[in-house]
Structure 1
Amino acid sequence: MINNFSLSEQACSQSFQYIQSSFFRSEIRFYDDLFREIIDFEGLSLVPKPSPSQKEP
């Protein structure tokens, strides 16, 4: 006999973990973009991105 409560509890915890991890990832992405913007604003770009004046032929 299958215990329905434990199955639904497991599914609930799995979906909660998924929501938590996806939220955490988007938060990380947000702070990463924010950090990059701050670095660009300071003029100390840590991430080498091609700027209009430094385009390679």
Structure 2
Amino acid sequence: GLSDAQMANLQKQLRAGIGRDVKINFSIDESLLGGLVVKVGSRQIDSSLASKLNRLRIAMKGAG
């Protein structure tokens, strides 16, 4: 999981990007393999390793 400092930094960055205070619910999803997924309302930012590997798999299928 994230350290307290990392959680505070993430909250600060989200507040700056969204323009208002945010309440964060942290949970660990082992299927992500690494990275994180941020959901804000209907928006989702997926920087998980699982997502990156899936995009690479799709790109390789298209090149083959």
Give the TM-score normalised by structure 2. Answer: 0.31
Higher strand share: 2
Whichever of the two has the greater Rg, that structure is: 1
Which has the larger share of helix? 1
